[in-house]
Amino acid sequence: MKIRRLVSQSPGTILVSALGFGEIITSMNLISRIQTMSSYPIIILSRQPQMVRRLYQSKGLTVIALPYPFFAGRRIISDWINKLRPSLILCVENMIQLRADMLELARARHNTSVLLVNAHAYRKSNVLWDVLEDTNHENERKFRCLDIAGVVSDEARKYLIGYGVSESSIIMINNLKFDTANLIVQQEEREMLRRQLGISGNEQVLICGSVHLGEEIILLNAFKNIIDRPELKNIKLIIAPREFYDINKIIASIKNLGFSVALKTVCSEEPKNSSTIIIVDTLGELKILYSIADVVIVAGSMLADLLGHNPIEPAILGKPVIVGPYTPSFNDVMDKFLNRKAIIKLQNTEDLADQVVYLFEHPEIRENLGSLAKAIIEECGGATAKYLDIIGRLLP
């Protein structure tokens, strides 16, 4: 009832499609800025609406979070659109789970503008609704509804043109993720984090972020190789699983390889040796944890069926970053880093241990990699301001 009253009292709404965790994080800064320039209620569609509510509440922001009406019939979709009366549909990175009939009805009945931000060349997964996406020309119908698309690469531009989007509707804009990398962590916070995790001042830290099930075997075998070297026995490994539901399976892999586990939520300040691996079992803390790392491995990139994760978050903190061979979702970001030799991208995962050892043995190389990457991020900002200007012109 509260949602209905809020929507009915407004001239319209802004409907945001933020499919998963990455899209939610990418959109937060933009949505916060939209709220300062517009009184339209913001409704976020996501696979994880409860996570959306928690994340936005933690930032002091108010949004309405709903699941996608993917399996609803056209009549229900029609009623739904009539109640929400969207003035703008803002699609973050892709339009995968938005239905063509929803977009068509919104445009026909409410003159809704449709804006795609931070678009990349989408690659199909094996998830059922993604496989079925082209049924009844869904993609062509969806893209036909676009007013403007902001793309991060020429690959993304060609992808959209291949689905009939006119060249005049496409604008090349730097990745929004460069604008979300504005985290500053004070020395006191870093020291407190280390104490809470039982890491002493002279010990070094290796963090593996966004680890998918199956990757932990590669990372753990590399770590075993690293700490077998006498000069590197004081390295502490922190693993942040990508999905909470994989934690128990990853813990089982850790124990099978002879390591012990300390969960972050119950971690004591007792000193730990290298055979104890810390597992991050909390939400939204990875960015701040990167601040205590000496070397960061951004996972989601070690297996051929994965697409990579965001290397910008540790890089803005001046951390040296290693990624695996598979990063197609971040080609635009990786190109910028690789062109300036500001990141290490593995040719194959067998090289992981040697590359980590090389960085730990050469502090000057670590510092240089981190400084170069941070400078690139600072140069590539400004996407948020460009999108705000476009949104200001599209809203009634």
Q: In this predicted model, what pLDDT tens digit does every residue of 280-292 receive, in sequence order?
A: 998 878 989 999 9
Banded pLDDT at 133 (limits 50, 70, 90): low
What confidence tens digit (pLDDT) does each residue in 248-264 have? 999 999 999 999 999 99
Query: Which one is the CATH code of 2-174+381-394: 3.40.50.2000, 3.40.50.720, 2.30.40.10, 3.90.550.10?
Result: 3.40.50.2000
Return the higher-pLDDT residue of 110 and 128. Answer: 110
Task: Please check the confidence at residue 307 and state whether its pLDDT lies above 80.
Answer: yes
Asked if residue 204 has pLDDT above 60, the reply is: yes
| pLDDT score, position 127 | 46
Asked if domains 2-174+381-394 and 187-379 share a fold, the reply is yes
Contacts of 232 (CB under 8 A, 6+ apart): 226, 357, 360
Q: What is the pLDDT of residue 31?
A: 94
Q: How confident is the model at residue 238 (pLDDT cuts 50, 70, 90)?
A: very high
What pLDDT does residue 384 have?
A: 96
Mean pLDDT of 57-72: 86
Q: What integer is the mean pLDDT of 351-379? A: 96
Per-residue pLDDT band at 128 (split at 50, 70, 90) = very low
Domain assignments of the chain as residue spans, ordered by start: 2-174+381-394, 187-379
CA distances from 158 to 25, 142, 164 (A): 26, 16, 10
Q: Is the pLDDT of residue 387 over 90?
A: yes
Return the pLDDT at 225. 95
Q: Rounded to whole angstroms, how far apart are CA atoms 214 and 324?
A: 13
Separation of alpha carbons 271 and 197, rounded Å: 8
Q: What is the pTM of this model?
A: 0.84
Q: What is the pLDDT of residue 271?
A: 77
Range with the lowest mean pLDDT among 110-114, 152-156, 208-212, 227-231?
227-231
In 307-324, which positions are buried (b, 16+ CB within 10 angstroms) versus exposed (e)? bbbbbbbbbbbbbbbbbb
Q: Predicted confidence band at 136 (pLDDT cuts at 50, 70, 90)? A: low
Q: Which residue has the higher pLDDT, 131 or 291?
A: 291
Lowest-pLDDT range of 125-129, 245-249, 337-341 = 125-129
The whole-number pLDDT of residue 48 equals: 86
40 or 11, greater pLDDT = 40
Q: Are strands 148-151 and 344-345 parallel, antiparallel or unpaired?
A: unpaired
pLDDT band, very low/low/confident/very high, at 227 (cuts 50, 70, 90): very high
Topology of domain 187-379, CATH: Rossmann fold (3.40.50)
More confident residue, 351 or 233: 351
% of the chain with per-residue pLDDT over 70: 94
For residue 124, what pLDDT band results from cuts at 50, 70 and 90? low
pLDDT of the residue at 216: 97
Asked whether residue 36 carries a pLDDT value surpassing 70, the answer given is: yes
Whether 129 shows a pLDDT value over 50: the answer reads: no
Residue 123 has pLDDT above 90, yes or no: no
Band of pLDDT at residue 267, cut at 50, 70 and 90:
confident
